[in-house]
Every structure is written in structure tokens, then in C-alpha cells.
A and B are shown apart, each in its own frame.
Chain A
Amino acid sequence: MEYSLAVERHFAAPKKARELPAGMAGLVAGEAEDRTLHVWVRFQLQIVDGVVAAAGFQAFGCPHTVAAASVVAEWLEGRLVDAARKLDVKTVCAELEVPTEKLGKLLRIEDAVAACWRSEQ
């Protein structure tokens, strides 16, 4: 399996790979998994005044999954919620040069973030 430099960079030092404190105001969380694909992703977002004030993720999965979750977490933080809801993991896949066969795994990232929005409601 070949990995792009962007995957290498994010895998070596994932951004926002952390657990946000449980009592944090405006905290929402969501997770998604696919056991057959061996992937699990959990996102936590702190929403303050319609903005994603902080983001954190945890992931069990391949290097592409870890790298993509890192990119997404970094992208989410500081973004208006309305804009953040438009997350498209396929764009992240293109940025990271993720092979097509990995898309199924990486869509779980989108599902986990979507679960955050559901928990916000």
C-alpha cells in the first residue's frame, strides 16, 4: 500500500487527536463504525455561539482513516456550524490521495461528525 506525503504527515502527528473534557460547555459527541472494515471513529465538538470552538477525534483504523480524521478535525475547528455541516469527506480523500477502495472506511468519519450534529439537537 502506498501512502501520500499528506497521509504520512498527518499519521505521524495527528492534529486534534484528543479527548475533550467531559464537562466542557457546548460539548457534543458522535461516533461511527464498520466492523467488517475494521474502522471506528469518534468526534467531539465544542459548539459556542454557532462556531466549532474545539474539535477532537479518536480513531481505530488504517493510516488513511487516522490522517483523514486529523484533516477533518483541523478543518472543523473554528468553522461556523452551518459551514461545518457541509463536510464532504470525498474532498478530504482527494486531498490525501486516498485509494478508492478506502472510501467506505473514510465515510465513517462523515457519519461520526453527522452524529455530533444529531446529538446537538
Chain B
Amino acid sequence: MSSREIYLDYAATAPLDPQVAAAMYECMTSEHGNPSSSHAAGRRARALVEAARAAVGARVGAPSECLIFTSGATESNNLALSGVLRRSRNRRVHLVTSRIEHKSVLDVARMLEASGVAVTYVPATEGGWIEPGRVVEAIDADTQLVSIMHVNNETGVIQDIETIGEACRARGVLFHVDAAQGVGKLPLTLATAPIDLCSLTAHKVCGPKGVGALYVAPRVTLVPQLHGGEQERSLRAGTLATHQIVGMGKAYELADPVREAPRLAALRDRLWRELGAIDGVRQNGDPARRAAHVLNVAFRGVDGESLRYALRGVCVSAGSACAADSPEASHVLTGMGLSDVLAGGALRFSVGRFTTEDEVVSAAARVAAAVALLRSLARNAPAWCSA
């Protein structure tokens, strides 16, 4: 990372915390056993895995035996959706989700739809919120699963998972939550929440990439999606990546929302005070319902690709990093009613553990300069360029 680079893309991924790196290094250099082996080296590795599982469980308020380690939230989402909806054969099954979910939910939903599963995609409000009533309305007699994210990865809007979960529970429908963006920013107590399945990841909270977990509540049964071993209660075959899991455990131990969220919210609000002074800027996502670390803004009269290019030294996203190569405007922002042009000109800023106030102020100044430059190039542009 060059000295001039400012990293404000923690919602895409976060830098590894040195304490996490140290724990992983220690594991990689001192423990090489397979956690499934019964000899001493294997038992030591198993102990590390179980300690990490306990640490993850402690952070999300879940019994550790309910957690299945995976390669990340994308795999967890795949396992949750396919694992539930492929249980039933020869009968109609129905999934309810929203139009603003992460691609790792929407793409699985579309794949399931192609194989005969009925899917309802609930729209978001202009503020990026999923009204619980709309979700409940979509539930029918064949609904087996509702999947709604905790915090939207593009806008940071917090969804009302408590109300949706209670409604699902009252109707005997399983409820899955993609909590990849919520952990470390909002408290979670899965053991008492009306949540049956919850996807988690390590790398959004300064842990390693390539490891995550799926919370599976007691009595919930899933069809495994990976075969070839009996690891993780036969729900996820494959040798456990001990060092990755140790890293996730350490990251979750450190990711305390009570300590971190107020500082992140202050940084985000400072950033908005600076950016809000730019003409024709708007926040995307209801500010009253937003997690501490995300600020999504759109600038009228500015092409998004040019803006991002002009900001090369400031690492931000157009939307989801998982769709960064797509030329299409964010499905989340257009789903909230923004025009393609305005959604294309949106930037997602996300702050994290190592962000400083100087960085957000400096980034805002660079954004203001880039917006002014691009607007000066298009001074007489037609109205649609600013719509």
C-alpha cells in the first residue's frame, strides 16, 4: 500500500489485523496435523479448531456446536439456500428473498428457480429497507425458507431481521440471514434470535479471506452441497483449514461492536459532513437505519467510471466488490429507484478498524476535486446526465 493510498473499502474486505496474522502464523508454523486425525498432532489441531469455533460462537451468541466452518459467506449462503430447498423432491417449494440481496444469494435463488423452485423477490423501499410486511405477504403454504440479509453490503441499511424472523417462526418457515456485513458492527445473539441459519465470514472483520461459517440452529436439517468426507457434521466435506479457522476465531474475538461501532460511526459521519458540502450529492440508504461503517453516496452529473478512475488513490467501490467487473449499474441502487446514470455514479465508502480521521478528510477533498473536474468537462450536458 503506497503512502498516498487511502483505503475506504472495508465492506469489500478489511486488512488483516496483526493479532490475527500472528495467531495464524503460529498455527501454520507449529501445528500441521489434520483436525480429523486421532493422533496427537490431529488432536492438537482439533483443539485449535474448537477454540476458534467457541470464539466465533461467543461473538454471535451461538452454541459452538451450531457452527459449520465453510470457505466464506458465499459458500454459507449456497449451503443454506440449496441445503434447505433441495430437501424436498416432487412437490412445490417456495423461497422468499429480496431484490437487494448479495449476488451469492440472488444467483443461487435464480439457479434454484431454474430447477423448479418458486422464488419471490421482495422489493426494497427507496431507502433500501425491506418492509417486514412485504416479506410476510409473500409467504405462502409452500414457503420453506425466507432469506434476508442483516446489513446491506452496498448501502449499509440494517434490515429488521427480528420482526421478519418472528413472522417466519410463527408460520413454521425457516429464516436465513446473511450477516457478512453485520458482524462486528452490530451485536448478534443467534441462540435467542428467531434465526435458523446465518452466514458469517472472517475477512470483513480483519480476518483472513477464504473462511467463514454457517450457523445452523438445532433441529434444522440441510442437504450437504459438498461430498467426500464427514467433517463438520457431514454438512461440509473437506479437510478443515486450521490456520484459516484460527484466524477467524481471533478476528471474531477482536470484532467487538460495542467498542468499534461508535468510532466507525463518527468517522462515517465526519466523511459525510465533508462530502455533503458538494453540490448535487445524495446519500443512498436511509441514514436512520444504517450500520456504522458504510456510506453510499451518488453525485449528479458525474460518470461513475470516470469518478472512480479520477480517485485512483482512494480505494472505494461502485457497489458490491463482487460485481465490480459488471458494466451494469448496481441492482441494489436501481432496486431502490435510482436511475442507471445516478446509480452508476455512486460510490460506497466503508471505514474500518485502521481508518483515521485524516484519511476520511483527505479522501473527501480528493472526491470534491474529482467531481468538480468532471463536471467542468460536462458543463452543458443534457439533463439526463444528472437525473
- A61-83 interface (Cβ within 8 A of B): 61-63, 65-66
Q: Does B230 contact A (CB under 8 A)?
A: no
Question: At the interface, is chain B mostly helix, strand, loop or mixed?
Answer: helix
CB-CB nearest in chain A for B341? A38
Asked whether A11 lies within 8 Å of B309 as measured between CB atoms, the reply is yes
Indicate with 1 or 0, residue by residue over B327-345, a CB within 8 angstroms of chain A CB atoms. Answer: 1000000000000110010
CB-CB nearest in chain A for B376? A17
- Spot the interface stretch: B35-43, B190-198, B209-217, B299-307: B299-307
Q: Does B141 contact A (CB under 8 A)?
A: no
With a cutoff of 8 Å between Cβ atoms, the chain A residues found around residue B303 in the complex are 38, 60-62, 65
- Spot the interface stretch: B51-59, B113-121, B146-154, B377-385: B377-385
Additional A-B contacts beyond A17-B376, A42-B381, A63-B309 (6; CB < 8 A): A19-B380, A58-B378, A60-B385, A61-B303, A62-B303, A62-B309
**How far does the Cβ of B384 sit from chain A's closest Cβ, in whole Å?**
6
A-B complex: 5 closest residue pairs judged by Cβ atoms: A60-B378, A62-B305, A60-B381, A60-B385, A63-B309
CB-CB nearest in chain B for A69? B377
Q: Do A58 and B309 contact each other (CB < 8 Å), given the known contacts A38-B340, A40-B385?
A: no
Asked whether A40 lies within 8 Å of B378 as measured between CB atoms, the reply is yes
With a cutoff of 8 Å between Cβ atoms, the chain B residues found around residue A112 in the complex are none
- Which of the residues B305, B340, B380 comes within 8 Å of A42, measured between beta carbons? B380
Indicate with 1 or 0, residue by residue over B345-387, a CB within 8 angstroms of chain A CB atoms. Answer: 0000000000000000000000000000000111111101100
Interface size class of A (residues with CB under 8 A): 20 to 34
Query: Footprint of A on B, CB under 8 Å?
Result: 301, 303, 305-306, 309-310, 327, 340-341, 344, 376-382, 384-385
With a cutoff of 8 Å between Cβ atoms, the chain B residues found around residue A25 in the complex are none
**How far does the Cβ of A105 sit from chain B's closest Cβ, in whole Å?**
10
With a cutoff of 8 Å between Cβ atoms, the chain B residues found around residue A59 in the complex are 377-378
With a cutoff of 8 Å between Cβ atoms, the chain B residues found around residue A65 in the complex are 303
Q: Does A1 contact B (CB under 8 A)?
A: yes
Q: Do A17 and B305 contact each other (CB < 8 Å), given the known contacts A33-B382, A38-B341, A38-B344?
A: no
CB-CB nearest in chain B for A1? B305
CB-CB nearest in chain A for B385? A60
CB-CB nearest in chain A for B304? A38
Q: Does A30 contact B (CB under 8 A)?
A: no
A60 to B321, CA, bound (A): 24
With a cutoff of 8 Å between Cβ atoms, the chain B residues found around residue A14 in the complex are 377
CB-CB nearest in chain A for B344? A38
Provide 21 A-B residue pairs closer than 8 Å at the C-beta atoms, listed in order of the A residue.
A1-B305, A3-B309, A11-B306, A17-B376, A33-B382, A35-B384, A38-B344, A40-B378, A42-B380, A58-B378, A58-B379, A58-B380, A58-B381, A59-B378, A60-B301, A60-B381, A60-B385, A62-B303, A63-B305, A63-B306, A63-B309
**How far does the Cβ of A64 sit from chain B's closest Cβ, in whole Å?**
9
